[in-house]
Structure 1
């Protein structure tokens, strides 16, 4: 576990280094600016200890910045001033775990650091538990969708890939919520009858009752996802996926949900066989006005080289990472895998097993990553 100690007095840092370096992975910084630089270049640190009285930026402000940069780090204050008001400010602004006064015996500092490390481990364990719960919940939902509606699953995969390409072009640093939103956008389809999904995805006209049932899938998705911790942002995006409205609407589409709606509209056109130019021309009147910068990035993404080449390959040549360009049915005309699904090891194994029982195409139409050529 890494420990950072920040003080503007060199002799104090030297003393702490001698007493602590054999026990901990210790970094010292002479003043708050060096401390912030160490956080960026050497972090994360399990425990950060700061002197209170430092020129330019006192320990209260410094630890508040530490909280912003590394919120999981356990923060402690070391000072020679018995200032009650400073102590209260440090606790309130920096969420201080311990407040140590100078001169502080090495044994006392060691006990405080050990307690801080234990607290850091507990926080990290809780974070990993939540992360594991999130991953597990998402995997279960996606697996269920794949079993219940391969078409809806494949649509979600296509939407996710398209969104991630656009976000990469924009240069978004942390696109996780959009990736999850794209992946899970179709999860509400578990409540929609397959015949309605079949008609909707092929551009067939739905009756008013069927259209109402289809539109329910966004609400169903939001309800399901709202039960998973830390999915508020994803729920907002997914819940507005039917709201492809114009700029004059009294309840404008949230900015976070716009990309998903553009991708869904484009996918509808693409799956009907509309070429890229016609599809973009169809979307431009609405989206160039509502989200000009986003639509520009989307348009550039669609017309850029996506890194794949189409091929007809025999099953033995199909590899993970390739993408289906056709629906695959068994002899009973049941859909096994839908166009747009990425081939994974599990998908390839499933095809292999099905080939033993059903007559599948001798060659499969796929997109092959250029790196595989």
Structure 2
């Protein structure tokens, strides 16, 4: 059975040695002589289940250290060890360091072992809840994406393209944000409230009726409303809602440095969406970038310049003709697919996914209908 890692932090080397000797059979004990050495241990190795810190240490005291641990390594359970058991110290330790237990010196080995057992159980509970929440979150996102793909394939495939552009921008700019990645995937979720024909007109930038324009304008806020009810997706919802704001207006509205990820994420998403919309109009990528750079009050020029690194359908491809019933995953439509009575089934430029492929095959069987369409087949795909 794997032993849980415990970090003891104190300025007394003899006390640390004694703790290690008495507890090493039950725990993987690591010691640090002071807060500075402890931070090095935290940054260098695997996570610790429990961190036990002395209160009185030179330089950084135990409360300051455990407060930093809570901010940067929140999963570790924190225990305070002190010879000064006054009420003020205890209150500060709990309120600032979010301490699980408060232990006074001297502490017999058996008592310390009992405290650590309780702290480890708390750590395991935190980890179990975290795994459950992550699985629930992943499942919720998957369901939302599937709903969009079935109810509004046009919007779904736009979200796929935007997701690819956002990922490439994040790689180029060195952005590490799971919230932005998910925001790109779910950015078009509000389109489930729109007719497919309206989404198609919106993406082609065709003239909309007044009612359609009002519906389209509400998409980000509608999406935000869907997502805010899901735990841990509040940041994703804010990125999507803020993506409609021009750069200068966004920076003026959100000046708190704690929300820098929302500001940057919203601009990356806005630029990716604008880039995609222009490409769908047939505007060359170089011209799209030049046009966006002419509007610095709306678009962040640093992010726009990063568009140079984006691969836009840059893979070697051949145009071929295929029966709709024979389309396979990965090909990209070179033309619209229109079914009986000229009903638009799928718009030009969309990549065929497994769900879209199944939907088209079912349509062909149900309607006893088929036709030949032009598609891009990329190198390495089966033809």
Length-normalised TM-score, structure 1: 0.85
1:279 corresponds to which of 252, 272, 288: 288
Aligned to 1:365: 376
Aligned residues: CA RMSD: 3.3
In the alignment, structure 1 residue 164 sits paired with structure 2 residue 153: no
Return the alpha-carbon distance in structure 1 between the equivalents of residues 298 and 208 of structure 2: 29
Instruction: Indicate the residue corresponding to 1:341 in structure 2.
Output: 351
Contact between 2:250 and 2:263, CA under 8 Å: does it hold in 1?
Answer: no
Q: Which of 110, 115, 120 matches 2:113?
A: 110
Q: How does 1:220-299 map to 2 (within 5 A)?
A: 220-243=222-245, 245=246, 247=248, 255-256=263-264, 257-287=266-296, 290-298=299-307
Q: What is aligned with 1:324?
A: 332
- Counterpart contact for 1:325–1:367, Cα < 8 Å: no
Q: Distance in 2 between matches of 1:201 and 1:290?
A: 20
Flag the 1:325–1:169 CA change in 2: closer, same or farther, 3 A.
farther
Q: CA deviation at 1:65?
A: 1.7
Paired residue for 2:21?
Answer: 18
Query: Contact 2:54/2:80 (CA < 8 Å) preserved in 1?
Result: yes
- Trace 1:97-246 onto structure 2 (pairs within 5 A): 97-172=100-175, 174-243=176-245, 245=246
| Cα 1:250–1:14 shift into 2, 3 Å | closer
CA distance in 1: counterparts of 2:66 and 2:148, whole angstroms? 46
TM-score when scaled to structure 2? Answer: 0.83
Aligned equivalents of 2:241 and 2:217: distance in 1?
11
Can you list the C-alpha shifts for 1:226-266, whole angstroms capped at 9, x where unaligned?
Answer: 111122222122124444x4747997697342222211111
Q: Report the alpha carbon displacement of residue 119 of structure 1 after superposing the two structures with TM.
A: 1.0
In 2, the alpha carbon distance for the partners of 1:13 and 1:319 equals 64
Shift of 1:278: 2.0
* 1:93 paired residue number: 96
Supply the distance in 1 between the matched residues of 2:90 and 2:123 (Cα, whole angstroms): 22
Contact 2:173 2:306 survives alignment (8 Å)? yes
- Are residue 36 (structure 1) and residue 44 (structure 2) matched? no
Q: Which of 301, 304, 309 is residue 301 of structure 1 equivalent to? A: 309
Pick which of 89-98 and 180-189 moved more.
Answer: 89-98
Q: Is the CA contact (8 Å cut-off) linking 2:247 and 2:267 kept in structure 1?
A: no
CA contact (8 A) 2:247 2:300 kept: no
The structural deviation recorded for 1:271 is 0.8
Partner SS for 1:78? strand
